[in-house]
Structure 1
Amino acid sequence: MAVRDALLALLAAGPGYGFQLHGDLAERTGGRRDVNVGQSYATLERLGKQGLVESAGATDDGLPLYRATKAGTAATSAWFAGTDASGSDAWDETVDRVLVAASLPSVEVGPVVAAERLRWQERAVEASARAVVDGEHDPAAGASVRLAALAAAAEAARAHAALAWLDEVAAITGRHDLAFAPRMERPRRGRRPSARPAEPESLAAESGEAQASAEA
């Protein structure tokens, strides 16, 4: 997921520093991704080691800035196009992807919603077919067959709920612009200015100070 892909999407839209990105992630996902600040920093460090994030200098007061590399920008494009993280939940991926897309001025949310709708329509059709074929209406079906049918029916119900939510998103984004620029306000306490911008591997120090700021 989603925390990794969403943070990378924020950096693909423009440079940012750790604590700002942490708050931006929570705001752009409607509060559903209000993760521990340490997780945000650890994710940024992993992205740096994977070659998806690099140093972008520092703010005027010395906070290290990060940006997406070309590989990171390509990964973000793939995520918005519908590539889910390995082992991720399809519903979580959809919600995070759509909310982040709607909040970023650089992303057109309409195609993202349309692609998600197509995927959930396919899931609904496939699950509904299994719910019938696996014996939902067969009097001779055994318990295991009926349980499988119920599981498929649950998948179909979730797919239809996802489609209803996507319709609501389309209606709201058609009436309101939900996109906003990154907020670059500095936390109350932050990293001391340094002569050399930190690399992604140096996030631990900033993380500790940002954690102290969050707890102050």
Structure 2
Amino acid sequence: MSIRHGLLALLERGTMYGYQLRAAFEESTGSTMPVNIGQVYTTLGRLERDGLVRPLPENEAGQRPYEITPAGRAELARWFANPVSRTGRPRDELTIKLALALTTPGVDARAVLRRQRVATERQLQELTGRTCAGHGEADLSWRLVLDAMVFQTEAELRWLDHCETTLEREHPDR
């Protein structure tokens, strides 16, 4: 999730200061995507610079709430209206690790695959053991985040199966 757009979506609910935004962000994602407070304030600074949020006067506790601007609402609407592009994906460490394991002398690629499988299966067990208590939008949000994590982990297991099968078929001696 884009922290930038996540904060805009949270500010669409109403004014909040940094710690409230951090707590609301983590609540919305079931604490599966933690964000540190420094990242929240850095992002707020950029959003303010870009005219998407504006700070309000400090409250009696010395906290500075922020509100979304009309330009911020337009940016948020654009974000929600457009699909997420998967073309600019960050590098996937596991893919790189397996590719290099196959071409690095002295590395047992099958052992790398086995260790990853054990770790991925353990992660899947942990994810499927999590539950959502209560009802409401925050719980629905959390359930959907959890579902996405489970599906991604299952997809990784299927990909590891494919890697093992391909390696066995093409290099039975490795």
| Band of TM-score, shorter chain | 0.3 to 0.5
TM-score of the pair, normalised by structure 2 = 0.47
